[in-house]
């Protein structure tokens, strides 16, 4: 055995050509298999963070400082639309509430004046300029009212007679964000409440740079045991400097999934063109590169692989010299690597 392995080392050429006969292969336990053509790639496992679908959630923001006076619900509680979530105090927001009521009353009167002036203008009693003046004043009031109404709609609050405000649930669902305690300060422009649909979840999947082109919108997301759990709806082309990865967003389903948890997933990526699948047990690492040993008339040649995707079964490649007629070594790889390195074995 030792002399045979030394012979392999001596006959290893500069281009990683290993000369070996069928008899020697049989003695050393080196076997081969054909590669396969594949139109899909099962990529992964990949790391995914689970969260509630923001499209099916309602988040509450304030553009004013406020404090929590009382809490009726906490994270994880189920709420119905119209119920009171908590009570807050905000002097500036309450001042805006009083302003809104005043402007709404003024606007009603201004609208009546504008309609009267329109009639008088059509009858030729007043000038167009006078009519436009009252119409412009009404429009200005309407703009300010819209701003304030939008502020209260985003905040989700309703003013009380005692100067406090109730935060009202604008949809039914599960509370996924809420203040933790009474007297807690609410930071302006930061979401302080969120109600989500408990059945609408997303997975934010980390994709390494070399796999970005392999994952596309519409690909199927599977659990680690290969059960379909969702579909990719978007893939970011940008790489995060913090994680050195891009993010693919998938809508997923599964009653056992919990927001905030991290899971492993697989992606069944549909390939636009056929690729050659080199099975995992035919792959070897040599000099920091992924290689396989291709069978030829005199033995094997070591071939660095141009990988287009990685899957659970192996790697997908598209390169000259590798097609469906190619045979690769699937056992005895350590012996072939030793021959490449010029090593002998006992």
CA distance 298 to 295: 8
How far CA 104 is from CA of 107, 144, 184, 258, in Å, comes to 5, 10, 32, 45
pLDDT at position 13 is 34
pLDDT at position 2 is 46
pLDDT at position 3 is 46
Angle (deg, nearest 10), helices 333-341 and 2-10: 50
CA distance 194 to 179: 10
Band of residue 131 on the pLDDT scale cut at 50, 70, 90: confident
Structure tokens of 139?
């429009």
pLDDT tens profile 265-312: 888 876 555 678 898 999 998 888 899 999 999 999 999 998 877 766
pLDDT tens profile 184-204: 998 888 888 899 988 888 999
SS3 for 174? strand
Angle (deg, nearest 10), helices 128-155 and 91-122: 150
Band of residue 79 on the pLDDT scale cut at 50, 70, 90: very high
pLDDT at position 162 is 81
Band of residue 9 on the pLDDT scale cut at 50, 70, 90: very low
CA distance 21 to 129: 103
Nearest of 279, 340, 335, 343 to residue 312 by alpha carbon? 279
Query: Domains in the chain, start-ordered, CATH in brackets?
Result: 2-39+273-341 (2.40.420.20), 44-54+198-272 (2.40.30.170), 60-196 (2.40.50.100)
């Amino acid at each position: 055995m030792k002399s045979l392995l030394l012979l392999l080392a001596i006959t290893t050429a500069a281009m990683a050509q290993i000369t070996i006969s069928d008899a020697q292969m049989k003695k050393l336990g080196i076997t081969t298999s054909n590669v396969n053509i594949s139109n899909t790639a099962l990529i992964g496992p990949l790391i995914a963070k689970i969260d509630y679908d923001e499209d099916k959630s309602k988040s509450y923001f304030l553009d004013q400082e406020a404090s929590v006076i009382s809490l009726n619900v906490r994270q994880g509680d189920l709420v119905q639309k119209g119920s009171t979530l908590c009570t807050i105090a905000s002097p500036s927001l309450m001042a805006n509430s009083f302003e809104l009521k005043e402007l709404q009353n003024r606007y009603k009167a201004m609208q009546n004046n504008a309609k009267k002036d329109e009639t008088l203008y059509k009858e030729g009693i007043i000038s167009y300029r006078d009519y436009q003046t009252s119409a412009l004043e009404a429009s200005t009031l309407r703009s300010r009212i819209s701003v304030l109404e939008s502020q209260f709609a985003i905040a989700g609050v309703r003013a009380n007679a005692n100067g406090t405000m109730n935060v009202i649930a604008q949809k039914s669902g599960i509370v996924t964000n809420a203040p933790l305690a009474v007297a807690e300060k609410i930071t302006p422009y930061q979401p302080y409440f969120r109600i989500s649909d408990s059945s609408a979840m997303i997975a934010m999947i980390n994709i390494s740079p070399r796999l970005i082109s392999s994952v596309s919108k519409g690909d199927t997301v599977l659990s680690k045991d290969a059960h379909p759990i969702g579909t990719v709806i978007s893939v970011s082309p940008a790489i995060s400097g913090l994680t050195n990865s891009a993010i693919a967003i998938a809508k997923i389903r599964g009653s056992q999934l919990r927001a905030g948890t991290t899971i492993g997933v697989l992606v069944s990526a549909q390939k636009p063109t056929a690729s050659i699948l080199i099975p995992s047990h035919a792959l070897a690492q040599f000099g920091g590169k992924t290689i396989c040993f291709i069978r030829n008339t005199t033995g094997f040649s070591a071939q660095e692989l141009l990988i287009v995707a990685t899957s659970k079964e192996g790697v997908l490649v598209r390169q000259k010299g590798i097609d469906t007629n190619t045979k690769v070594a699937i056992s005895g790889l350590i012996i072939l690597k030793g021959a490449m390195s010029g090593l002998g074995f006992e």
